[in-house]
Amino acid sequence: MAGLYTQNSSCVKINLKKFFGASPMLVQTSAAVIPFLGSEIQASYKASRVVILPIPYEATTTYRKGTENGPDALLEASIQLEYYDDELEREICKDARIYTHGAIADTKGGQRISAQTMLRETRDTISGLIDDSKFVIAIGGEHSITTGIVDAYRQRSSEPFTVVQIDAHGDLRHEYEGSIYNHACVMRRIVDMGLPTLPVAIRSLCQEEADLIKQKSIPVIWARHIAQNPHWIEEAIATIPTERVFITIDLDGIDPALMPGVGTPEPGGLNWYALLTFLRRLFETHQVIGCDVMELAPVVDSVVSQFSAAKLVYKLIGYQTLAQR
């Protein structure tokens, strides 16, 4: 995307005529972002099929801070990825047509953004991308962002869908620390929307959440069961009641030995290949309408977490691209 934008204080001037055939205008974003995989791979918005949407919002994290730095770290790390995917036996980026959107709801500069404003901006942006038939992968940022993303799909969808949640935590509290929009409440807000959910790799919750799981008969795939049951993937997929799914990935769903850079690390969780096998089966058996990857909080002097997160995003693009063939 080199040459298509210039930084101008809090605005990025984008040559929209080159993208859309319209007159140039100012688009409000936090700053020019690094394109996923680099500028040589960046497609124009009009030509793109996959859109990466950075949402560097952080307001309610309760342990390790830094999730607002996750999107930039992931995008920077993506430059180091090889284009060739040995599992899929192709350079996925050549077919995917990837565009990286400007960041929205950015709190990195100390700007205070209310949860309601963040959710509205997220919902409106995602809605526009859905209307343009883009496959969106949002990258955060704290997990509360997912409420706005899922709400956009709910409002734009004429068919039901299930939210598949990969996470260490239930995130089913009604409210936490005085807010119903805390990152610990994101899946409760989604359950309140009336959407079915499938939580995977859960290994930490409170009594309120345990009671709600029983009351709502939520089909949790516990991390301890994953460790003991070689057939857990097919059993998990069999519980999904809809053809369409949205995937939300809190990176603490992965074992912190592999993914230490998260807001709230929890022992156990998915290993790399179990995660990929599950995701690929989801794309093979269901219509995945969108994804997000949340809660990357980079560790100082280590690139392991952001590189792994970037590779995970590329795998999601690869599975989705393959599913379209």
Q: Are residues 205 and 276 in the same domain?
A: yes
Average pLDDT over residues 303-312: 98
Same domain? 294 vs 233: yes
pLDDT beyond 60 at 223: yes
Q: What is the per-residue pLDDT across 177-221, written as a single tens digit (0 to 9) for each?
A: 999 999 999 999 999 999 999 999 999 999 999 999 999 999 999
Same domain, 28 and 116: no
Q: What is the pLDDT of residues 109-150, one digit of tens each?
A: 888 999 999 999 999 999 999 999 999 999 999 999 999 999
Cα distance between residue 201 and residue 156, in whole Å: 29
Residue 57 near residue 118, CB atoms below 8 Å: yes
Shared domain for 231 and 158, answered yes or no, is yes
Which residue's structure tokens are 């290949």?
A: 273
pLDDT of 165 over the 50 cut: yes
Residue in the block written with tokens 């960041």: 103
158 lies in the same domain as 60: yes
Question: Going by DSSP bridges, is the β-strand pair 11-14/25-28 parallel, antiparallel, or unpaired?
Answer: antiparallel
Structural domains counted in the chain = 2
27 and 46 housed in the same domain = no
On whether both 28 and 163 belong to a single domain, the answer is no
Residue 151's domain is classified under what CATH number?
3.40.800.10
pLDDT of residue 19: 30
- Tokens representing 286 are 């269901």
pLDDT, residue 205, reads: 97
The verdict on 268 and 173 lying in the same domain is yes
**Residue 80 pLDDT grade (very low, low, confident, very high; cuts 50, 70, 90):** very high
Confidence of residue 30 (pLDDT cuts 50, 70, 90): very low
Which pLDDT score is estimated for 62?
Answer: 86
CA–CA gap between residue 270 and residue 6 (Å, rounded): 41
Domain residue limits at 7: 1-32
Averaged over 27-47, what is the pLDDT? 82
C-alpha–C-alpha distance, residues 227 and 19, integer Å: 48
**Cis ω on the peptide bond leading into residue 194 (within 30° of 0)?**
no
Same domain, 11 and 66: no
Quote the pLDDT of residue 16: 30
How confident is residue 31, by pLDDT bands cut at 50, 70 and 90? low
Q: Which tens digit of pLDDT belongs to each residue from 185-194?
A: 999 999 999 9
Classify each residue of 283-319 as buried b or exposed e, where b means 16 or more C-beta atoms within 10 Å of its C-beta: beebebbbbbbbbbbbeeeeeebbbbbbbbbbbbbbb
Question: What pLDDT, on the 0 to 100 scale, is given for residue 109?
Answer: 86
Higher-confidence residue of 15 and 318: namely 318
Give the integer Cα–Cα distance in Å for 119 and 82: 34
Q: Does 13 lie in the same domain as 148?
A: no
In this prediction, residues 53-77 reach a mean pLDDT of 96
Report d(CA 189, CA 313) in Å as an integer.
25
If asked whether residues 42 and 121 sit together in one domain, one would say yes
DSSP string, 84-144: EETTTTEETHHHH-EEEPPP-S--TTS----HHHHHHHHHHHHHHHHHTTPEEEEEES-GG
Average pLDDT over residues 295-324: 97
Q: Measured between alpha carbons, how far is 129 from 264 in angstroms, rounded to an integer? A: 30
Which SS3 state, helix, strand or coil, does residue 33 take? coil
Using alpha carbons only, what angle is made at residue 35 by residues 163 and 143, rounded to the nearest 5 degrees? 30
As a whole number, mean pLDDT of residues 40-53 equals: 96
Between helix 146-156 and helix 115-131 the angle, nearest 10°, is 40
Residues 54 and 160 in one domain: yes
| Predicted TM-score of the model (pTM) | 0.90
Listed in order, strand segments (DSSP E) in the chain are 5-8, 11-14, 25-28, 50-55, 84-85, 90-91, 98-100, 135-140, 161-166, 197-202, 221-222, 244-250, 287-294
- Per residue in 239-291, pLDDT (tens digit) is 999 999 999 999 999 999 999 999 999 999 999 999 999 999 999 999 999 99
3-state secondary structure of 243: coil
Three-state secondary structure call for residue 50: strand
| CB 197, CB 190: distance < 8 Å | yes
